[in-house]
Structure 1
Amino acid sequence: MDFLSDTVILSRMQFALTAIFHMLWPVLTTGMGIFLVIVEGLWLRTRNPAYYHHARFWSKLYVLNFGIGVATGIPMEFQFGTNWAAFSEAVGDFFGSILGFEASMAFMLEAGFLGIMLFGWQRVHPYIHYFATIMVAFGANLSTVWILIANSWMQTPAGGEFVNGKFVVQDYFQAMLNPFSGHSILHMFFATLETSLFVIGGISAWYILKGRNQEFFSKSLKIALAAAVVVAPVQIWVGHVSGEQVRRYQPTKLAAMESQWDTIPAGQAAPWSIVAWPDEQGEKNDWEIAVPGGLGYILEFKPELSEPVYGLKAYKPEDRPPLVWLIFYSFRIMVGIGFFFAALMLVSAVQWLRGKLSVDTIGSQRWLMRAWILAAPLGYIAVECGWIVRCVGRQPWIVYGQIRTAEGVSNVPASNVLTSLTFFAVVYTFLFCCVLYFGARILQRGPNLNLPVPDFEGRLPVEVEPAEHLPDSRPAEAQQEAQP
């Protein structure tokens, strides 16, 4: 239990807890915001009330995720001051401004239009409301862009140099457009969108299996499927390109991802371990099941390498990522889920083309609906695993190659960090139970298909009471003069 007296380990555990928990909520809001733009746009185009009711129903889950995301995101950012003050002092001129942009540009934009999106259905014109929905979705995704820029800079620092332990910005745009930022933003964008699509599809499949509002939820399932036809394969390709960047800029992370201990020189076939058990002290795998030439095909689409793949032994032990087994299996879980999504998308698309997803037949596709329900939580797992690979694989650096994690921690007693870590664990467990409770209530009630649909002047279709039954609002003197 020596880690209980280690400020660095406890601070890392606290940030990991808050980051992993917080990540659950913006994943859905960023992707579901785009879905809300789609269904509301379909309502405006077709005037079909079903799409209006979709927008009203799914926005309830959106705001639930938004609220918890705000409540858990703010404490996470405060830790840069409370737990990582040395890091913040060293890189604050750039890193702090990026987080400030995220709060002032993206979060405020999303929060500012959220009220109109939720409560403006009968108060503003439908096109004004649609604009608010677009701004909410744009703000949510812009927030992700700023966060990914900041984190990518930690992976591949650029745009300046460290002078006396402090980062001095020389080219702000070069720092923003660091080598990792572009593909990282794309990878996360498609990850959040893909996760949201399969959550929406999984919830829709649950209703269909229950025999509740099958016609209604077959629409949302088909919308999710139509988008997944594009998103799922593109995400696999973007993930592959991101892996190529890891090979180029963070070879130690690639070695940990593949549990590769020995360097494979150029011109040789590189095997790929499907499963293995890394032994960090022995600097080897205790056992493994490998595919000959598999790593070569993954990296270069051929068995022999044109460039060497450096193993972990090529680096000093203090420069290697820790927990190789965690990085190794997190990467495989993420990749496996990505291919499962692609396979489920392909099977579902075939069934759709065969006419098996019509309102009359979709209820009989029980095995397919169960597969979609199973897929609903898998996107969250894939995203969390991806961030584990990204951040644990960056260790022992908090800024890759420049500042070690141990050098960035605040000078606070370990007992203080342990207290706050315990507090966060208790509060976040309570918040998670609240989300499950309120989310279950939303799903149990289902959509309200009796909601009146606004006309395109922004008014509700209401009956006007005859004038003789309305109260006379004139002054008493005028009423007396008007009497015979």
Structure 2
Amino acid sequence: MEFDALLLSRLQFAFTIAFHIIFPSFTIGLASYLAVLEGLWLTTKNEVFKTLYLFWIKIFALSFGMGVVSGVVMSYQLGTNWSVFSAVASPVIGPLLAFEVLTAFFLEASFLGVMLFGWKKVGPGLHFAATSLVAFGTIVSAFWIISANSWMQYPQGFERLADGTLRATDYWQVVFTDTFPERLAHMLLAAFLTTALVVGGASAWRLLKNREDKESCIALKMAIGMFAIVAPLQLLVGDLSGKEVLEVQPAKLAAIEAFWETRTEQPFHIAAWPDRAAEKNHWEISIPKIGSWITAGRSDAEIRGLKSFAPEDRPPVAIVFWSFRVMVGLGVAMILLGLWGAWLIWRGGGPEKHPLFLKAAVAMSPTGFVAVIAGWIVAEVGRQPWVVTGVLRTRDAVSPVGAGEVSASLLAFMVVYAIVFTVGALYILRLIAEGPKPAPAEDTEPPLKPRPPGYALGAAPDAPDREARQ
């Protein structure tokens, strides 16, 4: 394997986006969770919700800050490592990224200060509005980013000019491509699941030490309610997204399922060892005939295999195949955890009384991040060898730079990320381990004592008594 500028640029982008996606996938869900907590506190006046809000807002602030910093690097790379892509495609997707800044980032930045520092400085209604607008801003940000990426996955509403650049002819199609609705729903549900798993795992950790922690008990039940509902829903949305991939990116679907031959009644490969060079699977653990039913919705559907595509148009099979199974396997585990927790709540005993469930919740807490990264690997590696499917190949989109420059920047990123984000992540984990603590009663000024008769402005408090003694 030759580490040329193309491969190093791809490795650098993969490294930075894997770090970056961790934070938005958490803050999108956490912002909405904070809005729910504050709304419940305002509605019920239950101080537990206020305590949880004041605790998790600290985690949100740190995660949001690291997400912004890591996101700047992504824009930086588009100019340094992928300048040809920027020159060719920016007339189409450039406005989408600009809209993300204008509508989402400005919205978040405008109200983030009120949300973080305005607790005692503005009224509760205005503060709740600020929290809700920040939460809405994170969703709008996801909207534009997924829109731009969906266009790269399945470009529509554009034309190629004589100089090779692209121009939008229908921005409605550019923004709302055929794959966009399912992909946006899939990403938002993944963010909510990631947050619920972190909140549930952190609460379970504290309940293992103190079962009487009422804040953690309520937070755990809220988290269980979230992934008991969202995890099965995510499975359904993922199935819809997979059927869309079959129509618009059949090579990616063939790589996901490690199908080499085109036929009906494809098997479903639970596990396999795909070999791109040999064009076959060396071994398989499969269920016969149901692969076509799972991917197309009917068993007699003909599914194209990888051999029907030119070798240079096939994505790396093994990476896509196994990343997809990691994502789906963790999704099934989330469904089981949610059903288990819901059953414990329904029984009336409460999950806090079952150490085995609490340990399982702790163990599952980071799996949302792993599933998100695995899902993005499927989406991005499965699109190869195209950076814009069917329009611009990845090898033609890279900047005219040498391997030395790219390797130097990659090494610098790895060192800086290892220091900055490791310290930040460890500090967040330390805060989570400490857990929420009820805030002390707010200090209020004691009522003024009535002034004694004859009390003059500027006179000593004991002046009347002194005069009486004289």
Pairwise same-fold verdict (TM > 0.5) = yes
- Match of 2:406, as an amino acid? V
Deviation at 1:107, TM superposition (A): 1.3
CA contact (8 A) 2:243 2:296 kept: no
Partner of 2:242: 243
Amino acid at match of 2:330: I
Q: Tell me what 1:340 maps to.
A: 333
- For 1:277, what is the secondary structure of its paired residue? strand
User: Counterpart of 2:310?
Assistant: 316
SS of aligned partner of 2:303: coil
Q: C-alpha displacement at 1:391, in angstroms? A: 0.3
Q: Indicate conservation of the 8 Å contact 1:207/1:213, yes or no.
A: no
Aligned match of 1:422 = 411
Partner SS state of residue 447, structure 1: coil
**Who is 1:50 aligned against?**
48
Instruction: Spell out, residue by residue over 1:90-123, the C-alpha distance to the aligned partner (whole angstroms, 9 max, x if none).
Output: 1111211111111221112112211111111111
Question: How many Å apart are 1:404 and its aligned residue?
Answer: 0.2
Moved over 3 A (4+): 460-469
CA contact (8 A) 2:267 2:288 kept: yes
What is the root-mean-square deviation in Å for CA atoms of aligned residues? Answer: 2.0
> Which AA in structure 1 matches 2:99?
F
Distance across 2 between alignment mates of 1:336 and 1:253: 19
Secondary structure in structure 1 of the residue aligned to 2:285: strand
Checking the alignment, whether the CA contact within 8 Å between 2:211 and 2:352 is kept in structure 1 is: no
Which residues of 2 match residues 284-303 of structure 1 at below 5 A? 284-302=280-298
Q: What corresponds to 2:102 in structure 1?
A: 104
Q: Would the aligned equivalents of 2:202 and 2:433 in 1 still touch at CA under 8 Å?
A: no
Equivalent position SS for 2:286: strand
Tell me the TM-score normalized by structure 2: 0.93
Q: 2:382 aligns with which of 393, 416, 427?
A: 393
- Give the Å deviation of 1:163: 1.7
User: Does 2:449 correspond to 1:463?
Assistant: no
- Work out whether residues 53 and 451 of structure 1, in 8 Å CA contact, stay in contact via their aligned partners in 2: no
Q: 1:230 to 1:475 in 2, by over 3 A?
A: same
The amino acid that maps onto 2:325 is: R
Per-residue CA deviations over 1:376-420 (Å, capped at 9, x if unaligned) read: 100101000000000000000000000000111111111101000
Structure 1 unmatched ranges of 5 or more: 454-459, 477-483
1:423-473 CA distances to partner (integer Å, 9 max, x unpaired)?
Answer: 0011111122212331133124322313436xxxxxx7443565879xxxx
C-alpha separation between the residues in 1 aligned to 2:353 and 2:137? 40
When residues 397 and 125 of structure 1 are mapped into structure 2, their CA distance, relative to the original with a 3 A threshold, is same
Give the AA of the match of 1:285: N
Alignment partner for residue 30 of structure 2, among 24, 29, 32?
A: 32
Aligned pairs (5 A) from 1:58-457: 58-164=56-162, 165-211=164-210, 214-264=213-263, 268-302=264-298, 304-306=299-301, 308-322=302-316, 324-357=317-350, 362-452=351-441
Identity %, equivalent residues: 41
Query: Would the aligned equivalents of 2:211 and 2:353 in 1 still touch at CA under 8 Å?
Result: no
CA distance in 2, matches of 1:461, 1:122: 13
- Alpha-carbon distance in structure 2 between the residues aligned to 1:188 and 1:467: 63
Is the CA contact 1:330–1:389 (under 8 Å) kept in the aligned structure 2? yes
TM-superposition CA deviations, 1:240-269 (whole Å, max 9, x none): 0000011000000001101111111xxx32
The SS at the match of 1:282 is: coil
Q: Partner letter of residue 314 of structure 2? A: R
Could you tell me whether the CA contact under 8 Å between 1:113 and 1:135 is conserved in 2?
A: yes
- How far 1:27 moved relative to its partner? 0.7
Distance 1:396 1:47 in 2: 56
Structure 1 contact 99–150 (Cα < 8 Å) conserved: yes
Q: Quick one: distance in 2 between partners of 1:272 and 1:434?
A: 43
Number of equivalent positions: 456
Contact 1:14/1:421 (8 A) holds in 2: yes
Give TM-score, length-normalised by structure 1: 0.91
Q: Which residue of 1 is the match for residue 464 of structure 2?
A: none
One-letter identity of the residue aligned with 1:142: V
Letter in 2 for 1:334: M
CA–CA separation in structure 2 for the residues paired with 1:461 and 1:301: 65
Distance change >3 Å, CA 354–CA 172, structure 1 → 2: same
Aligned to 1:479: none
Q: Is the 8 A contact 1:214 1:363 kept in 2?
A: no
In 2: Cα distance, 1:57 partner to 1:436 partner: 16
The Cα of 1:159 is off from its aligned counterpart by 1.0
Cα–Cα, structure 1 residues 468 and 262, in superposed 2: closer, same or farther, change >3 Å? farther
Q: Residues 66 and 407 from structure 1, CA distance in 2 versus in 1: closer, same or farther, beyond 3 angstroms?
A: same
What do residues 128-154 of structure 1 show as CA deviations (whole Å, max 9, x unaligned)? 100000011011111111100000000
Q: Which moved more, 1:13-22 or 1:93-102?
A: 93-102
For 1:216, the aligned partner's letter is: E
Shift of 1:215: 1.2
Q: Which residue of 2 aligns with 1:457?
A: none
